[in-house]
Amino acid sequence: MSTGLDEDTMRSVQSGRETMGSMLRAAQKHLQKVFIVWVVGLVGTIYALQEFLWDRLKADMIERTAEEADIVAVTPFDVILLQVKIGAVIGILLALPFLIYYSRDALRERDLWPADRVPLWKLWSLLLIAIGLFAGGILYSYNLFFPLMFDFLAENAANAGFRPDYSITKWVGFVALLGFSFGLAAQLPLFMSALSYTGIVPYETFRDRWRVAVVLIFGFGALFSPPDPFTQVMWALPLVGLYVVSLGISKILVLTKRAGEEVGAATVARTRWNKLAAGAVVAGGAVYYLLATPAFQYIQAFAAWFPSDQLTGDIARPDLLGLGTETTAIAIAAVFGVVAAIVVLYYYMIKALDVAAAEAGNYGDPTAIDIEPLSAGAVRSAPVQRFQEMEEQEALELAQSAMDDGNPDKAEAILGRWDFAQDTMAGTGEAADDEDEEDADVVTSTTAGVMNAFTEEETTEDDIGGYYHDIAFILDSLTSKAIWFVGTFMAISGAAFVFLYSGGIGDIRNTFVSNLPPSMRADVTFVNLHPVEHLIFIVKFSAILGAVAVLPLIVYFAWPALKERGFVGGQRGVLGIWSGTVIASMIGGSLVGFTYVAPTVISWLAFDVLQSGMIISYRVAKFGWLVLALTVGIGLLFEIPVTMLLFHRGNIITFQSVQDRWRTVTLGVFVAGALFSPKGIFTMFLVSIPVTIAFLVGLGVLWLYTLGGRRAPEGAEPAD
C-alpha cells in the first residue's frame, strides 16, 4: 500500500511505535501504579476545582475588575466535561514521570537513557530549577498579568456596550494557554544555558542576535497575548529581561567550560573583597534609605500610579513577623546587599574566566577577545582573527599600555601579532576574492541551468515552465512597488483599528441599536463569550478593509506585466474608475445597509424571539459579521455588475469571455463559498447564492448593453 510518507518518516513513526511498545512492556508490572497516580490526579483535580479553585480563580481574576464580568456556562455539560479534561491532563502530567522511570531499562536498550549513572542530586537540581522557573512564570501571570489584562478587557468591552460574559470553556482555555506560555517562556535560562554549554547553539549567537531575539519575543507576544499593545508589552518585557539574565548565566557556564581549570569564586571574592563590600553597602544603604526614611513616599507614589488593584498609594512600611519597620528595613537591605555583592562577584568572575579561557586557548568568538588582561604568551597564541580586525591605532595603544605596566615582552608580542595578521590578510585577500568569484560563477551557472527548464521562452503555454515564467515575471514587476501595498494596507487597516479600538465600535453599536424598532432597543444585548472576542473582530475587520484597499493597487501596478504576458488587454485607465466605484459601493452599501437593511433583517429575525418572552444576547463576533454582510456586503454585491460593465467597456474582460465561462465562474463561487464559509453548507449557500445572483444580473446588464453581444467594447478591433 502506497502512502504519502517517505521512507525516513515511516522509519521514524515505526521507531516511535516500537519505543512506546518497549516502554509499556518494560513498565507492565508497574502499570497499575501509574494508573493509580493518574486516577489520583484526575479525582484530586476535580475535587479541588469543585471545592475552592473555581471560586478562587474567579475572585482573583474577574471579581477585582473595574467592570462587572461573569463566567457563564452555555451548555449543561460545560463544567463537568471541563473538569474531567483538566483532571485528565493533570493526571497524565503526574503519571508520565513514573512511566518513564519504570521503563528506563527499555529506554537504556534503545540508547534513549544515559549509559553512565547520573548523580541524583544533578537530576533533582535540574528538575527543581525547571519547576521553579515554570512556577515563577505562572505566578507572574496569575498575580499581575491576568488581573490587569481582564480589568482592561472588561472595561474596553463595557465601554463599547458589550457585556463581558465569558464562556467558562473559552475563559479557562484562554487562561490555560497564556499561563502555560508564561511557564514555558520562563524556561528560557535553562534552555539557553543547555544549548550554549553543549555547543549546539554557541553563546556568541545568542549574544550577537539579541535584536532578532527581541523581535521574535514581541512576535510571540503578539501570538499568545490579546491583540492590544498593553498586554503584548506586559507579555514581552519580562521575557526580554529573562533573555538578558539567560545571557549572563550562559556566558559564565561557557567560560567555565572553556577555561579548562576551575576559577574559584572564593579566590575571586578574597581578591576583590573591597569591591564586593562597596557594592553591598551602596545597594543595601539605598534600600534602607527608601524603607526607613521619609523617602518611602516615593514608593507610595509609584504604587498609586501603577495600574494594579493590589497596589495603592496608602501602603505602609513593611513589618515582617512583627519585627518592627526598622528591623525589617535592615533585613531587606541586607538581602539586597547580598544580591549586589553577588552581581559584583559575577562581574569579576567573568573577567577571570575570560583570562583563563584565553590562556587555555579556548576563545569561543575570536574577534571578541579582550587583549589587555592577557599575558605575553597568551597574546602570541591568540587567534589571528582578533588582530585582523584590529586597527593600527588600537594595536599601538595596547602596546603602549603594556609598556606602561612594565611588560615590554607583551608589547612586542602585540605588535608582532598585529604585523603577522596584516601580512596574512594581504597574502590571502586576492586569492579569496578569486575563489569567491569562481564559486559565484558556479552557483550562477548552476542556478541558470536549473531555472532554464522553467523559464525557456520556447516552453509552450501548456507547460508548467511557461506558467512559472509568467508568474515570476508578474511578481517581479510588483517587487519594486511592494512599499505601496504595505503602506496602503498598514494605513487603512491601522486607521480602522485605531478608530474601532478607541471607541468607534461602541459608537457604531449605539447608532445601530438606535435604528432598531423602539420595542427592541432595551431587549437586545451583546455579549463577549471569549475575553478578546471583540478585539479579534476589530483586527479581522481592519485587515479586510486594508486588503480591499490594496487590491486595486495590485491590479494597477501589475497591469503592464499582465498585458505583456497576454492575460489582459484594453484600457488601463478604467482601473482608476473601477477603484473609485469600489470605494463608493462600499461606502454607499454600508450606509444603506446600516440604516435600513440590517435593522430590518435583524428585527425580522428577532421578532419571534421577543414575542416568546426570551432574552436576546448576541455574540459580538457573530452579530458583527452579520451586520458586516448586510452593510459592506451589499455594497460589494452591487459592485459585481458595475465591475463587469466597466471591464467590458475598457476591453479588459469582454461580455463574450464572461458569457463563455459563466458556468466556470458560478462553480468557482460555490467552491470558494465552501472553502471560506465558517459554518458548513448553510452559510455556503447564504454567501454563494447572492454572489451568483449578482453575477447573473451583471451578465444580463451586459447582454442588454451589448445588444445581445453585437456591440463591441470601446477601442476593440472590429471582428472579421
The pLDDT of residue 147 = 79
Q: What angle do CA 458, 459, 463 make, to 5 degrees?
A: 165
The pLDDT of residue 196 = 80
Local structure of residue 82 (DSSP, 8 states):
H
Model confidence over 551-585: pLDDT tens digits? 878 877 877 777 776 666 666 677 777 777 777 87
The pLDDT of residue 282 = 92
Q: Which residues fall within 8 angstroms of residue 594, CB to CB, at 6 or more apart? A: 511, 512, 515, 627, 631
Q: Residue 569 corresponds to which amino acid?
A: G
Q: Which residues fall within 8 angstroms of residue 411, CB to CB, at 6 or more apart? A: 398, 399, 400, 402, 403
Write the secondary structure of 106-167 as one string of H (helix), E (strand) and C (coil).
HHHHCCCCCCCCCCHHHHHHHHHHHHHHHHHHHHHHHHHHHHHHHHHHHHHHHHCCCECEEE
End-to-end CA distance of the chain: 58
Residue 624, phi-psi category: left (phi > 0), alpha (psi -120 to 50), beta (remainder): alpha
600 with 650: CB under 8 angstroms?
Answer: no
Return d(Cα 229, Cα 243) in angstroms, integer. Answer: 21
Of 337, 388, 392, 350, the C-alpha closest to 366 is: 388
User: Counting every residue, how long is the chain?
Assistant: 720
The pLDDT of residue 281 = 92
Model confidence over 39-67: pLDDT tens digits? 898 899 888 888 888 888 877 777 666 56
Local structure of residue 70 (DSSP, 8 states):
E
The pLDDT of residue 314 = 65
Positive or negative torsion for Cα 610, 613, 614, 617: positive
The pLDDT of residue 454 = 38
Local structure of residue 390 (DSSP, 8 states):
-
Return d(Cα 237, Cα 69) in angstroms, integer. Answer: 28
Task: Show the low-confidence residues of the chain (pLDDT under 70).
Answer: 1-29, 63-68, 105-118, 120, 122-123, 224-230, 260-263, 306-314, 321-322, 358-370, 381, 426-478, 519-523, 565-572, 606-616, 676-683, 712-720
Return d(Cα 482, Cα 490) in angstroms, integer. Answer: 12
Local structure of residue 320 (DSSP, 8 states):
G
Return d(Cα 243, Cα 218) in angstroms, integer. Answer: 12
Return d(Cα 166, Cα 562) in angstroms, integer. Answer: 50
The pLDDT of residue 6 = 58
